[in-house]
Amino acid sequence: MKKNKLHIIFILVVLLAVCAVLTIYIVSEYMSLPLEYTEYAEKYSREYDIPLPLLYAVIKTESGFKPDATSHAGACGLMQLMPMTYEEIAERLGEQPDITKIYEPEQNIRYGTFYLAYLYRYFGDWYTALAAYNAGIGRVSGWLDDRRYSSDGSSLQEIPVSETKNYVEKIKKLEKKYSDLLEEETK
């Protein structure tokens, strides 16, 4: 009888430990998914018709939500815009390019979201657009023309550059997590 009680207590302790570990894991997963700059993200996600979870996933991947982030290649801000791309976006929007605003969160999110929407319209596929956001339009267009990477010439079945492939895969995973998180927040 005493053995059975000890056995049951042992099982309960193990179950509690497993529950604690799972709770810590779930909490840390959500804590690693910041929802910052929500006013701008929501506004420009609606304005440029980009899924909000996808936009958050791009910002998280590009800068980790650090508005002053600068890459080794010279990309700037939350959405890591190259200065030349920033100026091109300003011209497409009919605005005077003001490079001094490239790090401002609202301006960077607005321009980055506009550019991502432009790439989506250009390619017609979110993940091909993301590949172009990372590797450039010309490079991705070349991959689409190559049967090894695209069977239909309009979407990528394979991304030949590991950095871009990993980038797109990371965003896909983060998009799902942000989708789940945003769904939970609306309950």
> Which two tokens mark 7?
């056995």
| Residue 62 annotated among the catalytic residues of the structure | yes
SS3 75: coil
Tell me how many degrees the CA angle 74-79-82 measures, rounded to the nearest 5: 30
Residue written as token pair 């570990």: 21
Of the candidates 36, 39, 62, 104, the residue annotated as catalytic is 62
SS3 56: helix
Find, among 75, 76, 79, 74, the residue nearest to 56 by Cα: 79
Residues noted as catalytic? 62
